[in-house]
Structure 1
Amino acid sequence: MSSFKVFKYIRNAIQGFTLLAALSFAAPVLAANSATSVTKAKSPANPSATSPWGFGFNLETESNLMKEGTYERDAQTALETTMLYKFNKITTLKLSTAVYKQHTGTEEAGFDNSTAGLSFTTPVNTNLDWKNGVTAILPTNRKIQDESSLQGTAVLSSALAYKNLFWGSSALTGISAARNFHEYNMTAEGVYNVRNTGTLTLGYTLPLFSNFALDTLFKYTQAWLYNDDTRSKFVFSAELSYEFAPNFAVYVGTSNEGSALKPNGVDSNIELFNDTSSVIKAGINLNI
């Protein structure tokens, strides 16, 4: 794909994001909603030193690289809202939900799945934290619920957060295990639902010049279906952000996800960028 076409999609995404950002701040009713499975959660709000409460708002628009008007074209915008309450230095409650709007196909709109979780942060030393958590995913996405009969998901996670690495960078390594609960073992299309998943997460943030930063994230998930078959999936994302203020930033980036193995079940299908499956995105992130 030519650099001109990539630039055109980035430009269109930024234009859509700018318009919807203006609309979201003009409509406070949307500020009560947030994201999970249709959208990709951003960094949560950080409670201030004077208050245990924290609130985060993330508005993101994204599109794949398919031509406008084609069946393969996929574009959407989502607004995520996150609330944190810090009980003490270790324990934090996080609630998150989102609304989304598809700009292609049926152009549907609705709530994404919501989350409620507790996290426990234990400082190992000045540059290393050990983070553990338990999270419940609530089936507030009606479309996913109708298609898969999802009743909810329980997640256990553990991660190491490294701070103050070279050039002021930071990193995250983590693992998680999830158990899905469905009313039926099969979807409405006759495919077996996913029962259990295990995920490996690797993240890295590199501060750049003049308030710019580069964030990268890689996830590898192994899934077990109700008929005991297995599936594997990868997610990769890279974002360039600019911080106007300590709690206010904008970003542009790309992400790619799909099966970790090719159809032969042996060769790797992991790609950082793909003309068909990758998406271009732009967003704005505010924490208060």
Structure 2
Amino acid sequence: MVIAIRPLIGFVLTALMAAPVFANNNASVTSPTSVMQAPKKDGRRWSGFISASRSTNLINHDDGSQMDAMDYLARLNLKLTNNFSLRVQGGYSQDMKDAQNDDFSNTSVSLRRSPFDVNRTFKGTYRLGMIAPTSKDAYKRQNLLTGITAGGDLMINPDRLITGLDIMGGLSVTRNIHQYETALDGVVNTQYSSSQMVSVSYSFESGISLSATFTHMNTWSYQNVMRDSFDFSQEIGYDINSSLNIAAGHTNSGSTLRPNGTDSNVKLLDEESSLIYASATFIF
């Protein structure tokens, strides 16, 4: 299951989640704008959102392989101090064609630093967290015990840009801890993973926003075999009010290299793997 801002703080704190957050191979997706929704009421001690997204293949080949999925995502933020907050996030993916593929995502718990000035041009933030193996793929097939994550984001100071424009990048690393190095199906489990992201968004005063996010991901197995993949998402969103956002978009993901191991497989559209989706997000 594969699993999107206007306020500065919410954008920096949440942009990395535009990358897929589900770890198994079903091709469902959650709206990047929904995932990146800022805690727009972040003056409160508690904030968060609940999102629902419907996705399908960009092209129907009429061969019975058309994907149809619903994804649900929830996030809860607890403001500990002016500089630090605690976040809990989890989700559920529903295959509308085969209920046997339905599954929860892994649940993440993280301590996050609010944005601070690096210099006059950049703002930064960092986070440290753990993963609870709540998906069947993680705790049944992989025998995952937990994962430890760390990451940071760097954003161009909005004062240096035109009003409404946000540009940022981020890096995160994860160390997985499994009961066994090999999964039940014989596949060697992933020990380390890394994600590098670049995101650009523009928000109009009317409430309409445009965003594009590119994420590159690396994984290393317990046998030190490295694989890499990418995710490229584009979206248009609309804030109906401060508590409700709707969005529609496209995402394409896959291996960074073609089967020959040398030619690039990164592209905006792919008739085999491109997905389109629509989402609705309630922010509280």
| TM-score exceeds 0.5 | yes
Q: What number of residue pairs does the alignment pair up?
A: 254
**Identical residues among aligned pairs (%):** 21
Q: Which amino acid aligns with 1:133?
A: R
Counterpart position of 1:276: 272
Instruction: Please state whether the residue corresponding to 1:166 is helix, strand or coil.
Output: coil
Q: Which amino acid aligns with 2:48?
A: F
Q: Which amino acid aligns with 1:224?
A: W
Describe how 1:85-96 pairs up with structure 2 within 5 A.
85-96=78-89
Counterpart position of 1:59: 52
Counterpart position of 2:152: 158
Counterpart position of 2:209: 213
Instruction: Please state whether the residue corresponding to 1:228 is helix, strand or coil.
Output: coil
The two structures, once aligned, show a CA RMSD in angstroms of 2.3
- Residue 134 (structure 1) aligned to one of 122, 128, 138: 128
Counterpart position of 2:3: none
Distance 1:68 1:264, change over 3 A: closer
Q: Which amino acid aligns with 2:150?
A: L
Alpha-carbon separation, structure 1, partners of 2:47 and 2:79: 8
Alpha-carbon separation, structure 2, partners of 1:171 and 1:80: 24
Q: Which amino acid aligns with 2:242?
A: P
Are the aligned partners of 1:149 and 1:187 in contact in 2 as well (CA < 8 Å)? yes
- Residue 180 (structure 1) aligned to one of 176, 180, 183: 176
Establish whether residue 148 from structure 1 lines up as the match of residue 133 from structure 2.
no
Instruction: Please state whether the residue corresponding to 2:268 is helix, strand or coil.
Output: coil
Q: Give the structure with higher Rg (CA).
A: 1
* TM-score relative to the length of structure 2: 0.82
Distance 1:49 1:274, change over 3 A: closer
Counterpart position of 2:36: 43
- Residue 164 (structure 2) aligned to one of 162, 165, 168: 168
Are the aligned partners of 2:164 and 2:204 in contact in 1 as well (CA < 8 Å)? no
Deviation, structure 1 residue 148 = 1.9
Alpha-carbon separation, structure 2, partners of 1:136 and 1:150: 12
Q: Deviation string for 1:141-190 (max 9, x for gaps)?
A: 11343222222211110111234222420011111111111222222332
Instruction: Please state whether the residue corresponding to 1:72 is helix, strand or coil.
Output: coil
Structure 2: 5+ residue runs without aligned partners?
A: 1-19, 24-28
Counterpart position of 1:249: 245
Are the aligned partners of 2:167 and 2:200 in contact in 1 as well (CA < 8 Å)? yes
Deviation, structure 1 residue 100 = 2.2
Alpha-carbon separation, structure 1, partners of 2:147 and 2:64: 32
Q: Which amino acid aligns with 1:37?
A: F
Establish whether residue 267 from structure 1 lines up as the match of residue 263 from structure 2.
yes
Are the aligned partners of 1:65 and 1:73 in contact in 2 as well (CA < 8 Å)? no
* TM-score relative to the length of structure 1: 0.80
Counterpart position of 1:101: 94
Instruction: Please state whether the residue corresponding to 1:254 is helix, strand or coil.
Output: strand
Task: Point out 4+ residue stretches in structure 1 off by more than 3 angstroms.
Answer: 38-41, 47-50, 65-71, 105-108, 125-128
Instruction: Please state whether the residue corresponding to 2:114 is helix, strand or coil.
Output: strand
Q: Which amino acid aligns with 1:229?
A: V
Instruction: Please state whether the residue corresponding to 1:198 is helix, strand or coil.
Output: strand
Deviation, structure 1 residue 246 = 2.6
Which stretch shows the higher mean deviation, 58-67 or 265-274? 58-67
Are the aligned partners of 2:245 and 2:282 in contact in 1 as well (CA < 8 Å)? yes
